Amino acid sequence: MHKLAWRALALLSLALALLGVVLPVLPTVPFLLLAAWAAGKGWPALEAWLLGHPRFGPSIRDWRERGAVPRRAKWLASLMMTASAVAMALSPLHLAAKIGAPALMLAVAAWLWCRPER
């Protein structure tokens, strides 16, 4: 049963990552990292495939080995968070959401930029 749960989490995460490839508001790499981690718990063949993937494998391996995030990914994430914060500021959301969510995004961006690069 445990193995099945890990596999389900890996597949769900992989599906969300694939959606993130075509939807700019959905991040791809965090879901790939989660998929690889879950696959490592219950689906070693999928984990090996993800680690060996020519496009996504290097990012997963860099994260596992050094906690590294490529500079391009840092810039893209920062731009997307900024665009989201601007959209929220212009929306009819409650003031707490307009302040709280961008504050959280700022904290995430600060943490992200402190991560090592390749």
Please tell me the predicted confidence (pLDDT) of residue 25.
76
Q: What is the mean pLDDT of each run of 10 residues along the chain (118 residues)?
A: 93 94 83 94 94 92 93 90 93 94 95 93
Q: What is the pTM of this model?
A: 0.78
How many beta carbons lie within 10 A of that of residue 73, not counting itself?
17
The SS3 call for residue 116 is coil
Please tell me the predicted confidence (pLDDT) of residue 46.
95
Please tell me the predicted confidence (pLDDT) of residue 116.
95
